[in-house]
A and B are shown apart, each in its own frame.
Chain A
Amino acid sequence: GEDVEQSLFLSVREGDSSVINCTYTDSSSTYLYWYKQEPGAGLQLLTYIFSNMDMKQDQRLTVLLNKKDKHLSLRIADTQTGDSAIYFCAERKGGATNKLIFGTGTLLAVQP
């Protein structure tokens, strides 16, 4: 099927690291993405990783990709209350389309 799976909820304390996990389905996916959705807003791209990479770091964000297990993770260092949002992973299907299949979303709650 096309299900991209994520855990539903994660709660962390301000200043701690957050790790959000995702399992995707298509081993031929070329790009994998992390999007953030704040309350009442649309989705905003946080970062992406090309499928031939294992890791990508962008300031407080670290993306790890395990192609063998089709597992993607997003680590947020020094998590802030402003990071509270829903985080979606997405895979780009192969072929001549940018169609993205999104995960179920993980609600990150950051406690002060």
Chain B
Amino acid sequence: DSGVTQTPKHLITATGQRVTLRCSPRSGDLSVYWYQQSLDQGLQFLIQYYNGEERAKGNILERFSAQQFPDLHSELNLSSLELGDSALYFCASSVSGIDTGELFFGEGSRLTVL
């Protein structure tokens, strides 16, 4: 158990819909990262937050947005969903940017868009 909690574990929805994925980082971790894992794209970095502020941005679509709340949990919002958004979405956390950089991953939220 990594200490990172993601909900829901599985989600099935239709094209055009909007979903919210939630992540609770390990106790004490200030950074949260979102990754998308799909068969054709592999593991792609989406976005990072550190103590409530956006720190780094990757291949995140404009239809997607994220935020980190004062209690440090994070949400990833996916809107106008397309079939190609079906993937496993991972959240990871780490203490800060000045340590060894180890990321602790949750078990992922599997999104299926029909």
A41 to chain B, nearest CB (A): 6
Interface residue B80 (Cβ < 8 Å from any Cβ of A): no
A98 to B2, Cβ gap below 8 A?
no
Judged by a CB distance under 8 angstroms, whether B48 is at the interface is: yes
A17-67 residues with Cβ-Cβ distance < 8 A to B are 30-31, 33, 35, 40-45, 48
Size band of the interface chain A makes with B: 20 to 34
From known contacts A88-B43, A97-B56, infer whether A44 and B2 are also in contact, taking CB-CB under 8 Å: yes
Residue A104 CB within 8 A of the other chain: yes
23 residue pairs of the A-B complex, CB under 8 angstroms, read A31-B100, A35-B105, A40-B107, A42-B2, A42-B92, A42-B108, A43-B90, A45-B102, A48-B100, A48-B102, A88-B43, A96-B97, A97-B48, A97-B56, A98-B31, A98-B33, A98-B94, A98-B101, A98-B103, A100-B45, A102-B42, A102-B43, A105-B42
Using CB atoms and an 8 Å cutoff, list the residues of chain B in contact with chain A.
2, 4, 31, 33, 35, 42-43, 45, 48, 55-56, 58, 90, 92, 94, 96-97, 100-108
